Amino acid sequence: IHFYKRMSDTIDTSNLVENGKNAKQILCIRCKSKILPPQMGTYEEFQFELESMIKETVGQKEMLNQFFRVEDMFDFDNLGFTNTVDTTKFLSCADCDVGPLGYHNLTTKISYVALARVAYAD
């Protein structure tokens, strides 16, 4: 299991992205449950604000800019939802409820997993 630099730093994707897709199994950063199998998420860079996952900064927003786009909810191994705000549902681990790991757009039905919010299996 590898953890990569988090927060506003850009994550080196050389070992994480292959042919535009996630090269490794994506895991929960806390409990290591499987979240997304390899080759199921498409790498994209854009800015989106998610609430902080760090205890000391709970309630504060964090700007993230690297995501894996997942077209179909059924592509996930194990994923839950936290709250819904407007047309956005926030993604969490179905086993330990840590999150938000990303978000689901209710209008487009597309999910986005933040690279900085998950771990990766070898």
Q: What is the pLDDT of residues 13-60, one digit of tens each?
A: 999 999 999 999 999 999 999 999 999 999 999 999 999 887 788 788
Q: What is the pTM of this model?
A: 0.90
Higher pLDDT, 43 or 3: 43
Task: Please give the pLDDT value at position 14.
Answer: 92
One-character DSSP codes across the chain: -B----TTSPPP-TTTEETTEE-S-EEETTT--EEE-TT-SEEEEEEEEEE--SGGGTT-EEEEEEEEEES-GGG-SS-EEEEEETTEEEEE-TTT----SEEEETTTTEEEEEGGGEEE--
